[in-house]
Amino acid sequence: MALPKRSEDYSSWYNDLVKQADLAENSPIRGCMVIKPYGYTIWEKMQAELDKRFKETGHTNAYFPLFIPKSFLSKEAQHVEGFAKECAVVTHYRLKNAEDGSGVVVDPSAKLEEELIVRPTSETVIWSTYKNWIQSYRDLPLLVNQWANVVRWEMRTRLFLRTTEFLWQEGHTAHATKQEAIEETEQMLNVYAEFAQNILAIPVVKGVKTANERFAGAEETYCIEAMMQDGKALQAGTSHFLGQNFAKAFDVKFAKKEGGLEFVWGTSWGVSTRLMGALIMAHSDDQGLVLPPKLAPIQVVIVPIFKKEEELAAISELAAEWVKELRAKGISVKYDNSDKYTPGYKFAEYELKGIPVRVAIGPRDLQNGTAEIARRDTREKFTVDSSLLTEKIPSLLDEIQQNIYQKALDFQKQNTHEVNAYEEFKKVMNNGGFALAHWDGTPETEEKIKQETKATIRCIPLDAANEEGKCIYSGKPSNRRVLFAVAY
Amino acid sequence: MALPKRSEDYSSWYNDLVKQADLAENSPIRGCMVIKPYGYTIWEKMQAELDKRFKETGHTNAYFPLFIPKSFLSKEAQHVEGFAKECAVVTHYRLKNAEDGSGVVVDPSAKLEEELIVRPTSETVIWSTYKNWIQSYRDLPLLVNQWANVVRWEMRTRLFLRTTEFLWQEGHTAHATKQEAIEETEQMLNVYAEFAQNILAIPVVKGVKTANERFAGAEETYCIEAMMQDGKALQAGTSHFLGQNFAKAFDVKFAKKEGGLEFVWGTSWGVSTRLMGALIMAHSDDQGLVLPPKLAPIQVVIVPIFKKEEELAAISELAAEWVKELRAKGISVKYDNSDKYTPGYKFAEYELKGIPVRVAIGPRDLQNGTAEIARRDTREKFTVDSSLLTEKIPSLLDEIQQNIYQKALDFQKQNTHEVNAYEEFKKVMNNGGFALAHWDGTPETEEKIKQETKATIRCIPLDAANEEGKCIYSGKPSNRRVLFAVAY
C-alpha cells in the first residue's frame, strides 16, 4: 500500500511508514507500543553506539527497581509536581478467582500499605541508594547509567514520539564539586550531539532550557534540538545539572578531602526510543525509510534477476563471493534469492525498509561483467564493473552517511530564520521552521507566545552571540536570541 | 569484613558475598534488588554471550508492553492458575496533591476500567500480537526474543535467586508444525546447556519436568538443572513446548501451504538474573567470588609493590607495556597503582571480586626479570619470567576456565547417587546432593516425597536409560530413574 505523501499529510505519512516498514505498532494496551524486530534492531544499534560512548567516558551500567514508593516522589518538591501526576500506580499484589467463575479479580486483602509508582524516571530511587554508596570523596565521582523501561501516563500518544511506556537510558552521576557536575552535564550533552551528528546523521542545536521547560528538580537542563522535515522541532536528548537538590532530598553527604561534610552534586541525562521517531522523520521520503548506513540492520541487499535456474546458479555463485568479501569488511549484506516475490516487489520492499545500497544483477550483467547499484538516499542508479563492486561499497556507504547528514543540515539551515518582528515570527511558525528571535526573558511572554502560536522556546543556544535587541513580543530589551519552534 | 565459611553457614556466606563483592543489594522496595555496577557488568557479559547464540540460531529481538490487561491472563486456563495469583496490579493512572498538604495520594477519579498486571511473563501479550503477524505459512517460523524485566510478587526473596522484579530474556516462537516446535524447544535447551558449560563453567543435567513442575500453559517443559556447592539443585533455564495452547487461547491460525487453516505451534524459553546466583554458588569459596575468565569484568589485575617513587615508575613502565600487549590480545586488564590502599588490602579485594589472574611485581622482581602470578581458582602462586608474562596469560585464562568447569563437574559427579531405597534417599537429601531414583510416575508420590523430604523431581533426564525398577516410595514398577534434589 502506497504511503501518503509528506507534502499532503505529514502526520499520516509518519504513522503509516512506522507500521509499513515494520518498525512498531500499537498494542492492545492503551498508549503502549510493540517495537517490532526490524525497529528493535535499529534501536539495538543506537544502544550499542551510545553504550560504547558512555563506557569510554567512564560510566558503568547498573539496574535499579522498576517501582518507586509513593513517598519518594514527594521528597523533592519540584520533582513531585513534574512526575507524580500522570503515572501508573500499583495498589495490590494479588488476584483471585472471581466468585462467579468469570475470571480473576483484584484481591482486596492484598492491598499495599504504600502504593508503588512505576518509575517515570529514577532519580528518587537512585539517590536513596546513593546515600548508602557515598560516604567520602573517595566514593566520588559515581558514574552510573541504566538502560530501562519507564512509564508516563500520556493522554495522546504517537508511536515512538510519545508513548506511555518507552525504553531509554538514564545516566545518574554524583560529584564532589559543582564545577565537576556541570562539566559532566556538558560532556554528556556533547556525547549526545556527536552521536546525533555522526550516527543518526541529524544536526542538532545545543542549548539550555528556559525555567518553564526545565526538568522537574534540575537547576539547569541542557538539550539538543533537531529539525524534522515539517520544520517542527524534536527534543532529542537532555542532560540535567541537578545541583544538590536530590542530595538534599535524600540526605546524601560526603566527607570532603579537606575535612567536613557536604551535600553531593548530581547530574542526570537521557535519550529514549523517541530517537527512533527523530530518525524516521528527519530523513525518510515518500517511498519509505531512509536509514543512515551506520544504523541500517542490512546495509547492502543483492537481488538477482533471472528467468532460468542456470542463470540464478551463475548469479548466486558470484553473489556468494560478494557476500563473503563484504562481510569480511564488516558490512551487513543480504542476498535475496527467494522466489516468493518478483524483483520489482523486492525493490519496493527494500526501499520501504531503507536499505542504503541495493545491487541488482541479471544475465546481461553477467555477460558484461557489470552490476547495477541503486542508492536509497538519492535514488540514483549506476552501473559498476562487477569486479570492483566490493571495493567500491565501503566508500559508497560512507558517502551516503555523509550525504544524509548534509541534506538534513542544509534543510535545517534553510529553515532557520532570524526574525525581528512578531508578524514575521507568526508566519515562520505557521510555515514550519526554527526562529531565532529576541525574548525579554520572562515566563509570561514565553507563555503568551505559546498560546498564540503554539511555539515554545526550544533552547537558549550555547553558541548564541551577545546581541542587543528587543523582544519580538513585548519590545523589552534582550541581549541574545533564543530558538523558537513548534515542537513534537 | 570476613565472609562466613561455607561449611558453617552457607546461606549467610552467599548473602554476604553478594553484598561484599558489590554484586547486588536489597532496595527500599520490598523484594526488589539493586544490581550494582560490578554485578551488572557480569550480567551484561552473560547477555552478550546468550544474545550472540540466539542470533546465530535465527532469532531477532523485539519489545512488547510491560503491562498485561487482566483479562488476557484468563484466556489460557492453566496459565492464569500459575501466574495470576502473585502479581503487581496497576489500578490507577494518576496521583494528586493530598488535601492536607501531606504529599500525594491516589486520585480515585483516575481508576482504570480494566486493571493492568505488570508482566510476570509475556506469552499472553505476545500471542495476542502474533495473531496480527501470522496469516500464512509464509509468516512462519516467527523467531523472536525479548530482553525485559518481569515481576512476580514473591513472599520470601533472596538476592538474584528469587526477587519480585528480575531481569530475563524470553524467547517466543511460532511454527507451522508440531515437530518443528519441538525441535526449537530442544535446540534452545541445548543452547542453554552449552552456554552453562562453556561460559558459566557449570555442568548441567538436561531433562523434562514432571506435570507438577511444568510451566503453566506448556505441554512439556525442558530444563537444565545445576548443582550448587551445598548439593542443592538450581534450575538454570527452561524451554517450553507450548503445543497449540496459546494459539488456541488467542485464535492464531495460519493458512497451510497445502490449503486449509491450522492453529500455530508455539514455544517459549528463558533464563534470568537467577543465573548470577548459580554462578556465585557454583564456584565461589570462603575468600570470595571465583569467576570464570569468560565472564570476569577484569580478567587480569597487575599490582605494583613499591616503597619509593622511582620503583613505582620503573614498574609502571613495564606494566604499561603488559597492559598494551594484553589488551591487544582481547584480554581485559587493570593496572592498580592507586596509593589509597596497601598491596595486601588490594590482594584481598581482588580475591573477593574473583579476578581470575593477579600479577604482583616489586623491585626484586624487576632486578630478577620476574613477576608473581596468583590464580584465583586454585589460589596457587608462581613466579614467571617477566618477558614471557603476556605470552602465558591467554593459555592460563583458558586453563582456569577449564579447571573451574572440571571442578564443578567432579563435584556434581561425586554428589550424584543412584539410590534404591527410601531410607538411603532421605540420607542423601539430608546431606545434600542429587539422587537418581525410581519413581512410580504419579503426582501423589511426588507430592508425598516432597512433603517428607523437601526434595522435588528436578527432571526426568534426557539421557536416562531404560531400566526396570521399583519406586523408592511406593514400590510400584518404574522403567527409568528420575533426578531428585532439594532445590533453590
pLDDT in tens, A393-407: 999 999 999 999 999
CB contact under 8 A, B117 and A95: yes
Residue with cell 509464509: B138
Q: Does A93 contact B at CB distance below 8 Å?
A: yes
Q: B42 pLDDT band (50/70/90 cuts)? A: very high
CB contact under 8 A, A64 and B28: no
The structural architecture, per CATH, of the domain A10-283 is 2-Layer Sandwich (3.30)
Q: Does B62 contact A at CB distance below 8 Å?
A: yes
- CB contacts under 8 A, A 450-469 vs B, are none
Q: Does A482 contact B at CB distance below 8 Å?
A: no
Q: Does A118 contact B at CB distance below 8 Å?
A: yes
CB contact under 8 A, B67 and A35: no
Q: A50 pLDDT band (50/70/90 cuts)? A: very high
The class of domain A416-485 in CATH terms is: alpha beta
Average pLDDT, stretch B86-109?
91
pLDDT digits (tens, 9 = 90+) for B390-436: 999 999 999 999 999 999 999 999 999 999 999 999 999 999 999 99
Predicted pLDDT of residue A52 = 98
Query: B55 CA to chain A: closest CA distance, Å?
Result: 11
Predicted pLDDT of residue B155 = 86
Q: Does A28 contact B at CB distance below 8 Å?
A: yes
Q: How many CB pairs lie under 8 A apart between chains A and B?
A: 184
Q: Does B87 contact A at CB distance below 8 Å?
A: yes
Q: Does B255 contact A at CB distance below 8 Å?
A: no
CB contact under 8 A, A149 and B148: yes
Buried/exposed B210-241: b ≥16 CB within 10 Å, e otherwise: beebbbbbbbbbbbbbbbbbbbbbbbbbbbbb
> Which of A51, A71, A90 has the highest number of chain B CBs within 10 A, making it the mutation to test binding with B?
A90
Write out chain B residues lying below 8 Å of A90, CB-based: 88-91, 118
Q: Does B86 contact A at CB distance below 8 Å?
A: yes
Amino acid occupying residue A461: P
Write out chain A residues lying below 8 Å of B61, CB-based: 37, 40-41, 44
Q: Does A136 contact B at CB distance below 8 Å?
A: no
On whether the CB atoms of residues A201 and A397 are closer than 8 A, the answer is: no
Angle between helix A443-453 and A422-431 (nearest 10): 50
Q: A98 pLDDT band (50/70/90 cuts)? A: confident
Predicted pLDDT of residue B74 = 85
Write out chain B residues lying below 8 Å of A78, CB-based: none
Closest residue on chain B to A138 (Cα):
B340
- Checking if the pLDDT of B273 tops 80, the result is yes
Parse chain B into domains and list their residue ranges.
Answer: 10-64+138-283, 294-411, 416-486
Per-residue cell: B344: 595486601
Is beta strand A370-375 parallel, antiparallel or unpaired with respect to A381-385? antiparallel
pLDDT: is A263 or A341 the higher one?
A263
Q: Does A121 contact B at CB distance below 8 Å?
A: no
The half-sphere exposure of B190 on its side-chain side, counting CA atoms within 13 A, is 8
pLDDT digits (tens, 9 = 90+) for B43-61: 999 999 999 999 999 999 9
Q: What share of chain A is helix, strand, coil (3-state, %, to 5)?
A: 40, 30, 30
Write out chain A residues lying below 8 Å of B37, CB-based: 60-62, 144
Write out chain B residues lying below 8 Å of A151, CB-based: 66
- Checking if the pLDDT of B1 tops 80, the result is no
- Checking if the pLDDT of A83 tops 90, the result is no
Per-residue HEC secondary structure of chain B comes to CCCCCCCCCHHHHHHHHHHHCCCEEECCCCCCEEECHHHHHHHHHHHHHHHHHHHHCCCEECECCCEEEHHHHCCCHHHHHHHCCEEEEEEECCEEECCCCCCEEECHHHEEEEEEEECCCCHHHHHHHHHHHCCEHHHCCEEEEEEEEEECCCCCCECCCECCEEEEEEEEEEECCHHHHHHHHHHHHHHHHHHHHHHHCCCEEEEECCHHHCCCCCCEEEEEEEECCCCCEEEEEEEEEEECHHHHHCCCEEECCCCCEEECEEEEEEEECHHHHHHHHHHCECCECCCCHHHCCCCEEEEECCCCHHHHHHHHHHHHHHHHHHHHCCCCEEECCCCCCCHHHHHHHHHHCCCCEEEEECHHHHHHCEEEEEECCCCCEEEEEHHHHHHHHHHHHHHHHHHHHHHHHHHHHHCEEECCCHHHHHHHHHHCCEEEEECCCCHHHHHHHHHHHCEEEEEEECCCCCCCEECCCCCCEECCEEEEEEEC
Predicted pLDDT of residue B339 = 85
CB contact under 8 A, A104 and B93: no
Q: B214 pLDDT band (50/70/90 cuts)? A: very high
Write out chain B residues lying below 8 Å of A118, CB-based: 66, 90, 118
Indicate the residue of B104, B149, B340 with minimum beta-carbon distance to A80: B104
CATH of domain B294-411: 3.40.50.800
Indicate the residue of A104, A116, A165 with minimum beta-carbon distance to B29: A116
pLDDT digits (tens, 9 = 90+) for A176-234: 999 999 999 999 999 999 999 999 999 999 999 999 999 999 999 999 999 999 999 99
Average confidence score pLDDT of chain A: 96
Percent of chain B past pLDDT 90, that is, above it, reads: 93
> Which of A40, A63, A251 has the highest number of chain B CBs within 10 A, making it the mutation to test binding with B?
A63
Indicate the residue of A32, A36, A74 with minimum beta-carbon distance to B104: A74
- Checking if the pLDDT of A77 tops 80, the result is no
pLDDT digits (tens, 9 = 90+) for A364-389: 999 999 999 999 999 999 999 999 99
Predicted pLDDT of residue B101 = 80
pLDDT digits (tens, 9 = 90+) for B116-174: 999 999 999 999 999 999 999 999 999 999 999 999 998 899 999 999 999 999 999 99
Q: B78 pLDDT band (50/70/90 cuts)? A: confident
Q: Does A80 contact B at CB distance below 8 Å?
A: yes
Q: Does B13 contact A at CB distance below 8 Å?
A: no
Per-residue cell: B255: 493458512
Q: Does A272 contact B at CB distance below 8 Å?
A: no
Indicate the residue of B60, B84, B106 with minimum beta-carbon distance to A41: B60
CB contact under 8 A, A29 and B153: no
How many degrees, rounded to 5, is the angle at CA A318 between CA A316 and CA A321?
Answer: 105
Write out chain B residues lying below 8 Å of A98, CB-based: none
Indicate the residue of A25, A167, A340 with minimum beta-carbon distance to B138: A340
Predicted pLDDT of residue B85 = 79
Indicate the residue of B41, B94, B149 with minimum beta-carbon distance to A66: B149
Instruction: For the domain made up of B10-64+138-283, give the CATH fold.
Output: BirA Bifunctional Protein; domain 2 (3.30.930)
Residue with cell 541500517: A296
Query: A406 CA to chain B: closest CA distance, Å?
Result: 31
Predicted pLDDT of residue B77 = 77
CA B106 to chain centre: 37
Closest residue on chain B to A75 (Cα):
B103
User: How large is the ipTM?
Assistant: 0.96
Percent of chain A past pLDDT 90, that is, above it, reads: 93
Write out chain B residues lying below 8 Å of A106, CB-based: 89, 91, 115
Indicate the residue of B34, B80, B153 with minimum beta-carbon distance to A94: B153
CB contact under 8 A, B95 and A87: yes
Write out chain B residues lying below 8 Å of A125, CB-based: 27-29
- Lowest-confidence pick of A131-135, A400-404, A424-428, B464-468: B464-468
> How far is residue B132's CA from residue B206's CA, in Å, rounded to a whole number?
35
CB contact under 8 A, B37 and A27: no
The structural architecture, per CATH, of the domain A300-396 is 3-Layer(aba) Sandwich (3.40)
Predicted pLDDT of residue A101 = 79
Buried/exposed B442-472: b ≥16 CB within 10 Å, e otherwise: eeebbeebeeebebbbbbbbeebeeeeebbb
Average pLDDT, stretch B347-352?
97
DSSP code, position A5:
P
- Checking if the pLDDT of B331 tops 80, the result is yes
Predicted pLDDT of residue B37 = 98
Predicted pLDDT of residue B398 = 98
Per-residue cell: A402: 555523509
Write out chain B residues lying below 8 Å of A64, CB-based: 27, 34
Write out chain A residues lying below 8 Å of B144, CB-based: 37
Average pLDDT, stretch B267-279?
98
Write out chain B residues lying below 8 Å of A132, CB-based: 25
CB contact under 8 A, B93 and A96: no
Q: Does A144 contact B at CB distance below 8 Å?
A: yes
Predicted pLDDT of residue A301 = 98
CB contact under 8 A, B149 and A144: no
Indicate the residue of A63, A106, A165 with minimum beta-carbon distance to B167: A63
Q: Does A276 contact B at CB distance below 8 Å?
A: no
Q: Does A167 contact B at CB distance below 8 Å?
A: yes
- Lowest-confidence pick of A95-104, B7-16, B360-369: A95-104
The class of domain B416-486 in CATH terms is: alpha beta
